[in-house]
């Protein structure tokens, strides 16, 4: 190949790279705008229904938010009534504390972290989708993600946005075989949520399949071990503040969480029986989490048929399995909504009518749950 | 209803896990022939389906003979021929106890650790491990049958084995499914001349149950020239080609099997 041809190819690659980055930048702003739009619509809907909670009540007192804000301000405690906050992972509070240096308010910093993370999550998700799909499917994947059923948690001060950002970045760097970046991102993910450590599975899958196929093992792939090391650091945190590596398990099992590990079947059975006896809660907690479990599992089979990358399917399987490994769960719907590769499967579906119907249902539920969340209902 | 939905959910996620393992094998190139992975998956699913039929039949009979019982109360459903004692051992294993009778420690400790640490349910775990092993054994048997009799013979062989009297025991929390799976895998390894693998599987079978000692006979059987010859000749016997004869045998075996299950669940055996 002569020099001019090489130069042409390089220029085209650079052009495509920069086009991808430009596209990612646009997606970033579109994602942030989508959150603002959801907030505005849900707020209007809530006001039309006659509710008028304060900003503090909506954002700073909902669900686990006060706990994260407390951790950002005071960090973990070895004793006292706040010692049980050891069940929360440290990376989100650390980010809040860092942003607080600039914005001077914990709740504002938490919301800014959430919005920025969602923007970055979408940008990286766009780049991830572009590795395998054309523009149309990429757009569908993104819009599907924007309309996530429990997408309201991406506008509030919860870990969800940060977590999906780390998952999107982690999967992208795994695909790019940038093992150092994937390791560091995975390390942070493992310090953000229990499911974060599962990013190790797609990494391990890609490494093993690559090594068997190419009959060569790349030493740099050992950086992926940083991902489980993140979880080890969390265990060390438990040892330091709780006196035992698994202190968080003890705290989770006690009030107010009552969370013990139970086989998936038992967890779903408990959700069902509680749903039957609590009708109003069943509509916002129990039925959605049971239905979303089956949708997520069915999606794995759909993904296998539409040839979605197996490492993503592995992640979804492990994620859903780990999430529903609970005796008494209240946030299954929220967790499934944060399982990013599910939107890759959605993007991979060929039938546009099916896609549009799914999108419509998603959008309606996303709006409804956002309104209910703002009203202070038990959307957890 | 909740239990039913829960178990369906658990079953689907395990099926998804099995599918991903299958995809891994052909994607990595460890198994070149994609069709053989799909075929193995179908056989395993077929075996699991037979197991489920047995399971629900046993649960139904327990409701008739033992009073109203939840269809997923494994402990109560399988309270027969020593299974209840085994279930106790899974929860609190004892080495001394685990070498008495037909039991051996390997499966008891496996059920104890997997049941305690992973699934948080001993009886369910033991049942799941048996289903898994029985399905794995069925895949090995179908491979052997395919090599002997071609594609037509493979599922027939599995069906015949699972229709035999007492075959239902493979799908209980006792260790029979595991022993069957290990023995079938050992037989296939021996057939493929992988002696070390055969030795490991046979040792595991023996450490699971004293019935596993039967795997030591496999090399002897393989040495008998007439055994392979006979195996090749079986489908050629004219009488087997008569559909009425085959239907008659099938009905007889299934009736006998059902009768034995009824006697077992009723406490007579």
Tell me which residues of chain A, numbers 313 to 332, contact chain B at a CB-CB cutoff of 8 Å.
Answer: 313-314, 317, 320-321, 324
> What's the number of domains chain B is made of?
2
- Which residues in A lie closer than 8 A to residue B30 (C-beta atoms)? 212
CA dist., res. B29 & res. A212, Å (int):
7
Contacts A–B by Cβ distance under 8 A = 86
Query: Is a pLDDT exceeding 60 seen at residue A2?
Result: no
Do residues A252 and A260 touch, judged by C-beta distance below 8 A?
Answer: yes
Query: What's the half-sphere exposure (Cβ side, CA atoms, 13 Å) at A41?
Result: 18
B193 and B244 share one domain: yes
Residue A282 vs residue A315, higher pLDDT: A315
Q: Band the pLDDT of A325: cuts 50, 70, 90.
A: confident
* pLDDT at residue number B193: 86
User: In terms of residue numbers, what domain contains B4?
Assistant: 1-32
What is the rounded CA–CA span in Å between residue A10 and residue B94? 69
Asked if the C-beta of B30 comes within 8 angstroms of chain A's C-beta atoms, the answer is: yes
B21 and B47 share a domain?
no
- Give the Cα separation of B263 and B198 in Å (integer): 36
- Helical spans, DSSP H, in chain B: 2-27, 34-65, 74-77, 83-91, 95-98, 105-113, 122-149, 151-163, 176-191, 195-208, 218-223, 225-233, 243-266
For position A307, what pLDDT does the model report? 92
List chain B residues with CB under 8 Å of A216: none
C-beta atoms of A266 and B16 within 8 A = no
Mean of all residue pLDDT scores within chain A:
89
Same domain, B28 and B140: no
- Residue B9 is nearest to which of A205, A294, A313, comparing CB atoms? A294
Q: Give the pLDDT band of residue A28 (cuts 50, 70, 90).
A: very high
The per-residue pLDDT for A313 is: 96
The answer on B21 and B76 residing in a single domain is no
Q: Looking at residue A113, what is its pLDDT? A: 95
User: What residues contact A110, with CB distance under 8 A and at least 6 apart?
Assistant: A65, A68, A69, A72, A92, A96, A99, A157
Q: How many residues does chain A have?
A: 380
- B69 and B87 share one domain: yes
How large is the ipTM? 0.85
| Least-confidence region, from A11-25, A148-162, A281-295 | A11-25
Going by C-alpha positions, the residue among B17, B118, B12, B10 that lies closest to residue A261 is: B118
> Are residues B107 and B129 part of one domain?
yes
What span, in angstroms and rounded, lies between the C-alpha atoms of A282 and A373? Answer: 15
Q: Are residues B53 and B23 in the same domain?
A: no
Calculate the CA A279 to chain-centre distance: 28
* Range scoring the smallest mean pLDDT among A56-70, A218-232, B35-49, B94-108: B94-108
* Whether residue B105 is found in the same domain as residue B236: yes
What mean pLDDT do residues B208-226 have? 82
pLDDT band at B231 (very low <50, low <70, confident <90, very high): low
Q: Residue A213: is its pLDDT beyond 90?
A: no
pLDDT at A15 over 60: no
Q: Are residues B23 and B72 in the same domain?
A: no
Alpha carbons A65 and A55: distance in angstroms, whole number? 13
The residues near A369 (Cβ < 8 Å, ≥ 6 apart) are A149, A150, A152, A284, A379
Q: Are residues B2 and B123 in the same domain?
A: no
Is the same domain home to B82 and B198?
Answer: yes
More confident residue, A170 or B102: A170
Contact yes or no for A265 and B29 at CB 8 A: no
Chain A residues 262-281 with a CB less than 8 Å from chain B: 262-273, 276
| CA atoms of A188 and A91, how far apart (whole Å) | 7
Same domain, B20 and B41: no
- Model confidence at A218, in pLDDT bands (50, 70, 90)? confident
- Could you tell me the residue ranges of all domains in chain A? 20-374
Q: Going by C-beta distance under 8 Å and a sequence separation of 6 or more, which residues neighbour residue B132?
A: B177, B181
Answer yes or no: do A293 and B23 touch at CB < 8 A.
no
Q: How far apart are CA B228 and CA B196, in angstroms?
A: 22
Q: With a cut of 80, say whether residue A186 has pLDDT above it.
A: yes
The answer, for A290 touching chain B at a CB cutoff of 8 Å, is yes
């Amino acid at each position: 190949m002569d020099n001019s041809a090489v130069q042409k190819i390089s220029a085209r690659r650079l052009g495509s790279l920069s086009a991808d980055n430009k596209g990612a930048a646009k997606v970033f702003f579109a994602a942030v705008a989508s959150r603002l739009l959801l907030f505005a619509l849900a707020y209007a809907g809530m006001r039309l229904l006659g509710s008028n909670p304060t900003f503090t009540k909506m954002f700073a007192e909902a669900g686990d938010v006060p706990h994260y804000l407390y951790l950002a301000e005071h960090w973990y405690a070895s004793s006292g009534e706040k010692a049980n906050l050891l069940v929360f992972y440290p990376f989100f509070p650390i980010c809040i504390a860092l942003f607080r240096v600039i914005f001077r308010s914990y709740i504002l910093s938490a919301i800014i972290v959430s919005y920025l993370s969602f923007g970055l999550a979408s940008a990286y998700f766009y780049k991830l989708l572009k590795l395998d799909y054309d523009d149309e499917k990429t757009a569908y994947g993104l819009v599907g993600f924007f309309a996530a059923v429990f997408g309201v948690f991406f506008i509030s001060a919860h870990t969800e946005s940060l977590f999906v950002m780390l998952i999107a970045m982690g999967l992208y760097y795994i695909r790019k075989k940038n093992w150092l970046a994937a390791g560091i991102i995975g390390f942070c993910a493992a310090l953000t949520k229990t499911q974060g450590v599962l990013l190790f599975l797609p990494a391990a899958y890609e490494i093993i399949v690559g090594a068997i196929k190419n009959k060569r093992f790349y030493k740099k792939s050992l950086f992926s071990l940083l991902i489980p090391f993140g979880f080890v650091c969390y265990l060390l945190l438990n040892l330091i503040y709780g006196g035992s590596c698994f202190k968080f398990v003890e705290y989770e099992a006690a009030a107010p969480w009552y969370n013990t590990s139970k086989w998936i079947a038992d967890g779903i059975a408990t959700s069902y029986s509680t749903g039957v006896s609590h009708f109003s809660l069943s509509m916002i907690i129990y039925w959605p989490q049971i239905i979303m479990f089956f949708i997520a599992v069915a999606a794995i089979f759909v993904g296998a048929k539409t040839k979605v990358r197996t490492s993503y399917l592995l992640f979804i399987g492990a994620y859903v399995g780990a999430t529903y490994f609970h005796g008494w769960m209240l946030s299954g719907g929220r967790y499934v909504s944060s399982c990013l590769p599910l939107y890759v499967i959605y993007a991979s579906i060929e039938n546009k009518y099916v896609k549009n119907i799914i999108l419509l249902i998603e959008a309606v539920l996303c709006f409804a749950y956002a309104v209910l969340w703002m009203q202070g209902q038990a959307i957890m | 209803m909740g239990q039913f939905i829960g178990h369906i959910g658990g079953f689907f996620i395990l099926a998804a896990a099995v599918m991903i393992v299958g995809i891994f094998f052909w994607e990595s190139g460890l198994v070149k022939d994609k069709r053989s992975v799909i075929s193995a998956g179908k056989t395993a699913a077929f075996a699991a389906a037979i197991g489920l039929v047995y399971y629900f039949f046993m649960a139904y009979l327990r409701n008739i003979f033992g009073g109203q019982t939840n269809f997923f109360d494994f402990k109560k459903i399988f309270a027969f021929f020593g299974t209840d004692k085994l279930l106790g051992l899974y929860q609190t294993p004892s080495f001394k106890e685990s070498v008495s009778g037909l039991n051996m420690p390997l499966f008891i400790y496996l059920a104890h650790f997997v049941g305690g640490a992973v699934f948080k349910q001993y009886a369910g775990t033991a049942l799941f491990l048996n289903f898994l092993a029985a399905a794995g054994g069925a895949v090995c048997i179908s491979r052997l049958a395919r090599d002997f009799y071609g594609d037509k013979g493979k599922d027939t062989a599995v069906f015949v084995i699972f229709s035999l009297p007492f075959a239902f025991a493979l799908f209980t929390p006792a260790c029979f499914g595991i022993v069957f799976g290990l023995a079938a895998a050992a037989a296939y390894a021996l057939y493929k001349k992988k002696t070390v693998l055969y030795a490991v599987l046979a040792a595991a079978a023996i450490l699971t149950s004293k019935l596993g000692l039967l795997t030591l006979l496999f090399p002897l059987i393989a040495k008998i020239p007439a055994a392979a010859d006979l195996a090749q000749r079986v489908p050629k016997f004219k009488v087997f080609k008569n559909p009425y004869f085959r239907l008659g045998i099938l009905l007889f075996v299934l009736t006998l099997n059902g009768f034995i299950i009824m006697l077992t669940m009723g406490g007579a055996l």
